[in-house]
């Protein structure tokens, strides 16, 4: 006998997992949210600036996805968590003359109302949310198992078994940059480490800014202001297992960092302060909080949502896949009752509510998921590379 059985279990309590828990809970009260950390939003989501702003550019599928997600998520936060979203607008500032030329070419394709302000473009829809409070409230009515590390998952008949202790019909993986529970080689997720700092300053800001970093609207604290600045983008090629930049560590922002980690963090603090001062000079600055986290990015930057393709079974059923033959998505074999939301990158608080709602509607109401964000695209590209390497 297992300790407990559920209809749905979610592994990962960042913004993706918490959003999924919220929408699943509308259909099933037998949902459990698991995380290795001691609380929700203790990984990359806790280190996020949680800024919500438009993607600028000429029309393409990725821009359409961000636009749809932004409109959905801003409306969702305002309706359900109005006290945790600050809708102050965002000023997007070109970083140089070449960047300004790009902005000029984007003007005919702006998806949201804007006006020119200071050295940039002000979008009223720009907002910022409180990452911890949002994740906490999303999961208020959901069973949680925290400080629990999942070591293994296995399929047993029509159920998934976790650590030989928990049993569920449907299993959802929202584990971000750590995809060690998944053996499928086509699932290529890259960790991009980011850092956010909160500072005390005598400078006030009444909107959000984004240039080469993001600078938040200020909050009054005693006789000063708190502003958030984020985020850096570190891709480490060397082994970082001896530092806090280790995907296997728990509660990384509550542990004591070693000298190698602190050196990187200090360099990133100086970089963020320099970039922030290029947006708006900050006076009498004192850093009061630093958080790091690994954002999960896919090879093509699109998120990954839905069922996982079973590569072994797909190759067995369609051996000509290895020759690069085209097979329709609905013919490919998937892993029963195993789902994923991943690859949300630095736009987790924009994408996650939208993606979670889409996945739940697909599961319970058979609504189609955009082919640009399913695992099928990744599998088919990988299958072609397998052919070329043989």
Query: What distance in Å separates the CA atoms of residue 350 and residue 67, rounded to the nearest whole number?
Result: 9
Domains of the chain: 1-50+130-188+299-390 (3.50.50.60), 190-298 (no CATH)
Q: Give the pLDDT confidence score for residue 33 in this predicted structure.
A: 98
pLDDT band of residue 148 (cuts 50, 70, 90) is very high
- Alpha carbons within 13 angstroms on the beta-carbon side of residue 115 total 3
pLDDT tens-place string over residues 204-252: 999 999 999 999 999 998 889 999 999 889 999 999 999 999 999 999 9
What is the reported pLDDT for 92? 96
| Percent share of the chain, pLDDT over 70 | 98
Q: Model confidence over 307-366: pLDDT tens digits?
A: 999 999 999 998 887 776 777 888 899 999 999 999 999 999 999 999 999 999 999 999
pLDDT surpassing 90 at residue 3 = no
CA distance 376 to 333: 10
Could you tell me what percent of the chain has a pLDDT over 90? Answer: 89
Q: Which one-letter DSSP state was computed for residue 249?
A: -
- pLDDT tens digits along 47-66: 999 999 999 999 999 999 99
- Sign of CA pseudo-dihedral 56, 59, 65, 69: positive
Residues 6+ apart with CB under 8 A from 281: 203
Per-residue confidence band for 386, with pLDDT thresholds at 50, 70 and 90: confident
12, 174 contact by CB (below 8 A): yes
State yes or no: pLDDT of 387 exceeds 70: no
Secondary element (H or E) of residue 6: strand 4-11
The residues near 101 (Cβ < 8 Å, ≥ 6 apart) are: none
What was the pLDDT predicted at 162?
97
Predicted pLDDT at 2: 63
Cα distance between residue 63 and residue 56, in whole Å = 8
Closest among 267, 5, 360 to 156, alpha carbons compared:
5
Instruction: Among 23-27, 123-127, 220-224, name the one with the lowest average pLDDT.
Output: 220-224
- β-pairing, 90-92 with 208-210? parallel
Instruction: Write out the two tokens for 184.
Output: 């499928």
Q: What DSSP element (H or E) covers 15? A: helix 15-24
> In the numeric block, which tokens belong to residue 219?
């909050």
In the 8-state DSSP scheme, what is residue 276?
Answer: H
Tokens (6 digits) for 3: 């300790």
The per-residue pLDDT of the chain, averaged, comes to 94
Is 25:188 a contact under the CB 8 Å cutoff? no
| Residue among 229, 124, 174 at smallest CA distance from 351 | 174
Of 129-133, 329-333, 381-385, where does mean pLDDT reach its minimum? 381-385
Please give the DSSP secondary-structure letter assigned to residue 371.
G
Torsion angle of the four alpha carbons 199, 200, 203, 207, in this order, in degrees rounded to the nearest 10: 50
Alpha-helical segments (H) within 86-190: 97-106, 131-138
pLDDT, average across residues 5-33: 96
For 286-327, the DSSP string reads EEEEEEEEEEEEETTS--EEEEEE-HHHHHHH-GGGGGT---
Q: Among 17-21, 26-30, 353-357, where is mean pLDDT lowest?
A: 26-30
**The whole model's pTM is what?**
0.96
Contact 75, 81 (CB under 8 A): no
What does the angle CA 83 – CA 87 – CA 91 come to, to the nearest 5 degrees?
A: 150
390 pLDDT higher than 80: no
pLDDT score, position 388: 54
Whether residue 202 is preceded by a cis peptide bond, meaning omega within 30 degrees of 0, is no
Judge contact between 341 and 304, C-beta under 8 A: yes
Q: What whole-number distance in Å separates Cα of residue 57 and Cα of residue 296?
A: 22
Q: How far apart are CA 77 and CA 68, in angstroms?
A: 14
């Amino acid at each position: 006998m297992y300790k407990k059985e559920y209809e749905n279990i979610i592994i990962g309590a960042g913004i993706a997992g918490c959003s999924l828990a919220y929408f699943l809970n509308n259909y099933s009260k037998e949902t459990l949210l698991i995380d290795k950390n001691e609380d929700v939003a203790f990984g990359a989501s806790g280190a996020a600036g949680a800024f919500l702003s438009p993607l600028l550019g000429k029309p393409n599928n990725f821009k359409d996805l961000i636009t749809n997600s932004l409109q959905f998520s801003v409306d969702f936060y305002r309706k359900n968590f109005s006290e945790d979203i600050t809708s102050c607008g965002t000023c997007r500032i070109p970083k140089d003359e070449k960047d300004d030329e790009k902005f000029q070419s984007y003007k005919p394709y702006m998806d949201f109302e804007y006006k020119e302000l200071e050295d940039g473009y002000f979008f009223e829809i720009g907002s910022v949310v409180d990452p911890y409070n949002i994740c906490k409230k999303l999961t208020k009515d959901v069973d949680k198992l925290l400080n629990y590390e999942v070591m293994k998952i296995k399929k047993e008949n029509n159920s998934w078994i976790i650590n030989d202790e928990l049993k569920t019909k449907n299993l959802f993986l929202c584990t971000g940059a750590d995809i060690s529970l998944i053996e499928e080689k086509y699932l290529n997720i890259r960790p991009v480490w980011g850092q956010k700092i909160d500072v005390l300053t005598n400078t006030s800001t009444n909107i959000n800014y984004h240039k080469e970093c993001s600078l938040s609207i200020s909050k009054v604290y005693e006789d000063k202001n708190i502003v958030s600045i984020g985020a850096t983008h570190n891709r480490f090629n060397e082994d970082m297992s001896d530092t806090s930049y280790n995907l296997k560590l728990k509660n990384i922002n509550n542990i004591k960092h070693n000298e190698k980690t602190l050196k990187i963090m200090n360099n990133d603090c100086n970089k963020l302060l320099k970039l922030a001062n290029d947006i708006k000079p900050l006076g009498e600055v004192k850093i009061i909080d630093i958080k790091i986290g690994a954002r999960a990015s896919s090879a093509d930057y699109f998120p990954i949502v839905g069922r996982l393709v079973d590569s072994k079974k797909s190759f067995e059923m369609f051996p000509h896949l290895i020759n690069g033959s085209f097979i329709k998505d609905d013919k490919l074999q998937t892993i029963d009752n195993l789902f994923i939301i991943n690859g949300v990158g630095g736009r987790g608080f924009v994408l996650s509510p939208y993606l979670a709602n889409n996945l739940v509607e697909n599961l319970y109401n058979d609504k189609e998921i955009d082919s640009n964000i399913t695992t099928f695209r990744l599998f088919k590209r990988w299958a072609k590379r397998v052919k070329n390497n043989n």
